[in-house]
């Protein structure tokens, strides 16, 4: 029996996973991996932490969990894979089933294949800004990028950097350079950073980054980069302001690298990625594709999307590698869109759809914001603020986001499973999760968020987010703002909007002090608004008809520095 030859193009994440899966399933197959860069299987999500100096050995980005560097010798010995580094696939002859290649030494050749797997990844987006070719303007996309920025950061104390884009990479680069002693300014054209979050939570992350010393500018773009002697010295904003800088990091996202696929005549999708089916097969039955270069299905909307995440690349690569050997037997179901990042002491994560994206997809949504600790106070509790999004008709959970100092990853992971499983708010409200004081509250934070949303859906609570409350306060209409915290809490922090303090324990006895117009809008709140909800129930039983709870209370109020 003639052994199959599997050619895999691309050696970062999806490619090595596809090659390893194919080789493991068919020990007789000849698996060849072509990689343009000198390194293989790079942990690219670790680049910001390498730049920050959290670890100094670059090989840690290339190692197995056992500490073995994934180089060609490793792939040959441990995996039975021929890995050709510094080798670029320059064209594909689909009719002859041949890949033409050229290496950095100028040598060229061709390889016949039975099955081909494209894992060509992505390329960083470079906006058409004048001056983008100046020395000192970088991306953080490749190992070479990380090396250059690491070398710069080692002598960066007292220098200045501008980061263009406040997404995942931009905010991680912000922290990395700040850790190296660099004065950092993030410039984001959108209304807030971390576009996967709705504004209620994104503003909290921005406040935290500013408190750590980073400068965050939103709703403004870069008009030009200017320099002297060929090196960047300043960034000029669209409104004319100038920011002196020694380094500019372009971090506005990535685009699928599909040059090879396009030239080979493979079908591309509406977003420019390679079109694949659930088996990761392209429009050519002998060619599969996986990773950042492909479009995948959003499991909530049913529509195609780009999802350039390292975990998905590995999952897709595994499916492509198996199907290239065994035929189309395993499926990649698509993505719900989960992500997480570290921003100084905060963690920010989301899964599923944000409220904005859910509405854009045509869902009639209902949401709830919850602020509560991740574990009991006697176990060193840290605060969390989360938002749950659900379909108002079916109750199905469409999305969840969480930020804070506490164990955000646990909450996001729980909810990623719930969203993928199609759970409703009622099902999440009764989730049977492991509990012990070192790890969580008796009612876990995510479950408590479901309880808030459940109360809203059943008409037991009328809540508004901090953003909605701010708009209501700014409108200046008739309004009574009720703070039901204790006197000491009130002295330590307050909204400063003319609110009235009546501690919850005194509210029933002091109802006569409230406005006698029972239809007057009232907003009640406390630190996290558990007491605010209790106050709403008391006031409604006393005949007040328009009482709203400010969800998350002061803990979720992102405008304190504006007062």
- pLDDT tens, position by position, 379-421: 999 999 999 999 999 999 999 999 999 999 999 999 999 999 9
If phi > 0 it is left, if psi is from -120 to 50 it is alpha, else beta; for residue 550 that is: beta
Cβ neighbors of 556 (< 8 A, separation 6 or more) are: 200, 204, 369, 371, 385, 465, 466, 528, 529
**Is the domain defined by 345-457 classed in CATH 1.10.540.10?**
no
**Domain at 5-44+52-122+255-326: CATH code:** 3.50.50.60
Q: What percent of the chain has pLDDT over 70?
A: 99
Token pair for 135: 């020395």
- pLDDT for res 17: 98
437 has pLDDT over 70: yes
Nearest Cα neighbor of 80 from 325, 342, 252, 303 is: 325
DSSP-assigned letters across all residues of 219-283: S--EEEEEEETTEEEEEEETTS-EEE-SEEEE-S-EEE--HHHHHTT--B-TTSSEE--TTSB-S
- The full set of domain ranges for the chain reads 5-44+52-122+255-326, 137-252, 345-457, 463-556
Nearest Cα neighbor of 47 from 150, 166, 191 is: 150
- Let me know the angle formed at the C-alpha of 22 by 20 and 28, rounded to the nearest 5 degrees: 110
How far is the CA of 28 from the CAs of 59, 228, 338, 391, in angstroms? 31, 59, 37, 50
Shared fold status for 5-44+52-122+255-326 and 345-457: no
- pLDDT tens for 62-72 read 999 999 999 99
- pLDDT for res 156: 83
Superfamily holding 463-556: Rhodanese-like domain (3.40.250.10)
Nearest Cα neighbor of 314 from 35, 25, 71, 45 is: 45
- pLDDT tens for 99-150 read 999 999 999 999 999 999 999 999 999 999 999 999 999 999 999 999 999 9
Backbone angles phi, psi at 464, to 5 degrees: -135, 150
- pLDDT for res 45: 92
- Pairing status of strand 98-103 against strand 346-352: unpaired
221 has pLDDT over 50: yes
Helix or strand holding residue 439 (H, E): none
- pLDDT tens for 307-348 read 999 999 999 999 999 999 999 999 999 999 999 999 999 999
Cβ neighbors of 103 (< 8 A, separation 6 or more) are: 84, 86, 87, 88
Q: For residues 249 and 242, what is the distance between their CA atoms, to the nearest angstrom?
A: 16
1 has pLDDT over 70: no
- pLDDT tens for 266-283 read 999 999 999 999 999 999
The order of strands in the sheet holding 115-118 is: 81-84, 30-34, 5-9, 115-118, 287-289
Q: For 137-252, which CATH class?
A: alpha beta
For residue 3, what pLDDT band results from cuts at 50, 70 and 90? confident
For residue 563, what pLDDT band results from cuts at 50, 70 and 90? very low
pTM of the entire structure? Answer: 0.94
Token pair for 145: 């990028």
Helix, coil or strand: residue 481: strand
Q: How many CB atoms lie within 10 A of CB 560?
A: 12
For residue 561, what pLDDT band results from cuts at 50, 70 and 90? low
- pLDDT for res 421: 97
Q: What is the DSSP letter of 355?
A: H
- pLDDT tens for 339-378 read 999 999 999 999 999 999 999 999 999 999 999 999 999 9
């Amino acid at each position: 029996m003639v052994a199959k030859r599997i050619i895999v193009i691309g050696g970062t994440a999806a490619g090595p996973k596809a090659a390893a899966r194919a080789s493991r399933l068919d020990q007789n197959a000849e698996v060849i991996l072509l990689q343009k860069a000198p390194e293989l299987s790079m942990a690219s999500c670790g680049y910001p932490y390498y730049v920050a100096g959290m670890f100094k050995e670059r090989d840690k980005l290339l190692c197995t969990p056992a500490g073995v560097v994934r180089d060609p010798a490793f792939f040959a010995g441990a995996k039975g894979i021929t890995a050709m580094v510094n080798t670029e696939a320059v064209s594909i002859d689909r009719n002859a089933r041949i890949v033409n290649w050229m290496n950095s030494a100028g040598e060229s050749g061709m390889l016949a294949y039975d099955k081909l797997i494209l894992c060509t990844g992505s390329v960083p987006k470079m906006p058409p800004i004048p001056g983008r070719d100046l020395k000192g303007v970088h991306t953080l996309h490749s190992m070479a990028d990380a090396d250059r920025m690491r070398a710069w950061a080692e002598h960066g104390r007292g220098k200045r950097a501008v980061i263009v884009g406040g997404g995942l990479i931009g905010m991680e680069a912000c922290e990395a350079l700040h850790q190296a002693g660099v004065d950092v300014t993030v410039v984001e054209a959108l209304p807030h950073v971390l576009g996967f979050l709705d504004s209620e939570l994104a503003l909290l992350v921005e406040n935290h980054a500013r408190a750590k010393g980073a400068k965050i500018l939103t709703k403004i773009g870069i008009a030009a980069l200017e320099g002297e002697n060929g090196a960047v010295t300043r960034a000029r904003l669209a409104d004319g302001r100038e920011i002196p800088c020694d380094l500019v990091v372009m971090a506005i996202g990535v685009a699928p690298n599909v040059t090879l696929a396009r030239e080979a005549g493979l079908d591309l999708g509406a977003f420019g990625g390679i079109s694949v089916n659930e088996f990761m097969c392209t429009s050519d039955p002998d060619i599969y594709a996986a990773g950042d270069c492909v479009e995948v299905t959003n499991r909530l909307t049913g529509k195609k999307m780009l999802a350039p995440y390292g975990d998905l690349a590995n999952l897709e690569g595994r499916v492509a590698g198996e199907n290239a050997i065994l035929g189309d037997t395993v499926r990649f179901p698509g993505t719900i869109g989960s992500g997480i990042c570290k921003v100084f002491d905060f963690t920010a994560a989301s899964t599923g759809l944000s409220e904005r994206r859910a509405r854009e997809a045509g869902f009639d949504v209902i949401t709830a914001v919850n602020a509560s600790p991740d574990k009991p106070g006697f176990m060193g509790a840290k605060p969390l603020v989360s938002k749950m999004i659900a379909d108002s008709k079916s109750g199905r959970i469409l999305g969840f986001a969480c930020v804070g100092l506490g164990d955000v990853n646990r909450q996001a992971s729980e909810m990623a499973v719930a969203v993928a499983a199609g759970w409703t708010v009622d099902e999440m409200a009764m989730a049977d999760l492991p509990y012990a004081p070192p790890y969580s509250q008796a009612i876990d934070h995510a479950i408590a968020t479901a309880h808030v949303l459940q109360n809203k859906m059943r008409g037991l609570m009328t809540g508004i987010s901090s953003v909605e409350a701010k708009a209501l306060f700014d409108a200046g209409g008739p309004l009574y703002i009720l703070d039901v915290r204790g006197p000491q809490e009130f002295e330590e922090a307050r909204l400063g909007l003319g609110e009235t303090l009546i501690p919850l324990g005194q509210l029933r006895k002091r109802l006569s002090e409230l406005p006698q117009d029972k239809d007057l809008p009232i907003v009640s709140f406390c630190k996290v608004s558990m007491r605010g909800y209790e106050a709403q129930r008391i006031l409604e039983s006393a005949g007040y008809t328009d009482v709203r709870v400010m969800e998350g209370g002061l803990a979720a109020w992102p405008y304190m520095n504006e007062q």
